[in-house]
């Protein structure tokens, strides 16, 4: 996101503003709930990962239907109504895992391809998110460089959640410390609730 601002400044835009717009409607039961995600966003701003002076945080009050390339068109069009001129689309937007196979349900690139052709989105500039991974040399997240692939570590969302649940820390520089603590505290609270919950009666 910081790279996008740099690119827009180079293109002549005077003060690009980032709209950080997390979904506020229902999501899957195992997704991190909105209040926790909002607290993480606050920490990202407090820690200076994103500039508070050029970032607007606002809740997008839409549910997540996990409809992949179909749903991402709604996400993009809604952001036009919010005043966005550019839309950053990531890998497998609004996607989910396949119900019976160990793979994603949708092709990871279909979202950005559909957005580039969808009617009604002509005035929205689509910015595909570059592949990023943890650079073990620079000790931070960076854009993946195939020429030195051995230096990069891909940490999936599943693996990140496993780290948080087990109390294992990710590599230094993978996530801002404040944001990571919020996630760890959330999973710790789930374990505490599970340990203190009364046993269900058998019938």
For residue 195, what pLDDT is reported?
Answer: 58
Q: Classify residue 163 as exposed, middle or buried by CB count within 10 Å of its CB (0-12, 13-18, 19+).
A: buried
Q: How far is CA 62 from each of CA 17, 44, 79, 110, rounded to the nearest angstrom?
A: 22, 23, 12, 21
Q: What are the per-10-residue average pLDDT scores of the chain (203 residues)?
A: 89 95 91 95 95 96 94 95 92 89 90 91 88 93 94 88 90 93 94 60 39
Considering the domain boundaries, does residue 187 fall inside one?
yes
For residue 202, what pLDDT is reported?
Answer: 39
User: What's the number of domains the chain is made of?
Assistant: 1
Cβ neighbours for 111, distance < 8 A, ≥ 6 positions apart: 68, 69, 72, 89, 90, 91, 92, 93, 94, 95
Considering the domain boundaries, does residue 149 fall inside one?
yes
Considering the domain boundaries, does residue 108 fall inside one?
no
Considering the domain boundaries, does residue 58 fall inside one?
no
Considering the domain boundaries, does residue 188 fall inside one?
yes
Considering the domain boundaries, does residue 154 fall inside one?
yes
Q: What residues make up the domain containing 160?
A: 131-195
Considering the domain boundaries, does residue 46 fall inside one?
no
Considering the domain boundaries, does residue 167 fall inside one?
yes
pTM: 0.83
Q: What is the Cα–Cα distance from 48 to 46, expressed in whole angstroms?
A: 5
């Amino acid at each position: 996101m910081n790279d996008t601002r740099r690119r827009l400044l180079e293109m002549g835009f005077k003060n690009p503003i980032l709209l950080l717009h997390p979904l506020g409607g229902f999501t899957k039961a195992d997704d991190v709930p909105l209040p926790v995600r909002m607290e993480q966003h606050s920490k990202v701003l407090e820690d200076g990962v994103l500039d508070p002076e050029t970032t607007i945080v606002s809740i997008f009050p839409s549910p997540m239907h996990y409809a992949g390339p179909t749903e991402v068109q709604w996400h993009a069009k809604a952001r036009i109504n919010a005043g966005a001129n550019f839309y950053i689309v990531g890998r497998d937007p609004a996607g989910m895992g396949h119900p019976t196979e160990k793979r994603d349900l949708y092709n990871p690139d279909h979202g950005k391809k559909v957005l580039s052709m969808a009617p009604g989105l002509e005035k929205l500039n689509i910015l595909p998110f570059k592949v990023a991974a943890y650079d073990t040399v620079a000790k931070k997240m960076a854009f993946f460089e195939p020429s030195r692939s051995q230096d990069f570590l891909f940490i999936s969302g599943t693996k990140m959640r496993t780290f948080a649940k087990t109390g294992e820390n990710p590599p230094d520089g993978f996530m801002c410390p404040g944001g990571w603590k919020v996630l760890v505290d959330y999973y710790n609270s789930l374990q505490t609730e599970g340990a203190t919950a009364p046993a269900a009666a058998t019938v």
